[in-house]
Amino acid sequence: MSINFKKFSGTGMTSDSSRIKLIENLKNNGIADSRVLSIMRQVPRHIFVDEAISSKAYDNTALPIGKAQTISHPLIVAKMTEIILKNNPKRILEIGTGSGYQAVVLSLLVDKVYTIERIELLHAKSKEIFRKIGVTNIYPKFSDGNNGWKQKAPFDSIIVTAGAKSLPLNLVDQLSENNGVLLSPIEDNGKQYLKSITKINNTLSEKVHGIVKFVPLLDGTTS
């Protein structure tokens, strides 16, 4: 999918020069996939945060988006996107829409992104951003992400943008049997580890991609 982001170009700390600096930062921190770097330079991260903090949008830092939630570090978004692209997914389920930034990045790299948010305010705000941008291959849902989206399963990949207490087996069940991948922060001995779980013919294999820090994956929905 291709979107013209020129109308969202900013000035000062939200200008293209700030985005270029961010991309150099990502490269220096090990992000090598040219597709990911290109998309993250294009997507205007400043429109996903409040205008009052938009000057920090291209810093490599998490930023508040309300309801005690954050938009992830650009490095984490790039890393998770790079990992998830390795099995060439066409249909991805995202658990935790948040600001909508990760979903938009993914939508420019795969055919369809299904995304679930448990906080109604964030669901509404992200839907409005998707509409404003003109993205048409993101399918948002207000629901408890722990349940996944059985009606749309199986998925080539599932990406979880909140820290799970243990392996979310309910989501694993919704992966494709043919090299489906779940990417999630999972707690182990008091720390969160970013793990990819690959499913082939109901057999699971695990790979650890380092220590991360995400808001917790919670049950239920809220306004």
- Pairing mode, if any, of strands 112-117 and 138-142? parallel
Kindly report the backbone phi and psi dihedral angles of residue 143, in degrees, each rounded to the nearest multiple of 5, phi listed first: -170, 175
Crossing angle between the packed helical segments 34-42 and 74-84, to the nearest 10 degrees: 140
3-state SS of the chain? Answer: CCCCCHHHCCCHHHCHHHHHHHHHHHHHCCCCCHHHHHHHHHCCHHHHCCHHHHHHCCCCCCEEEECCEEECCHHHHHHHHHHHHHHCCCEEEEECCCCCHHHHHHHCCCCEEEEEECEHHHHHHHHHHHHHHCCCCEEEEECCHHHCCHHHCCECEEEECCEECCCCHHHHCCECCEEEEEEEEEEECCEEEEEEEEEECCEEEEEEEEEECCCECCCCCEC
To the query of whether residue 223 is one of the catalytic residues in this protein, the response is no
Angle at 67 between CA 91 and CA 25, to 5 degrees: 60
Catalytic residue among 18, 54, 72, 99: 72
Q: Which residues are catalytic?
A: 72
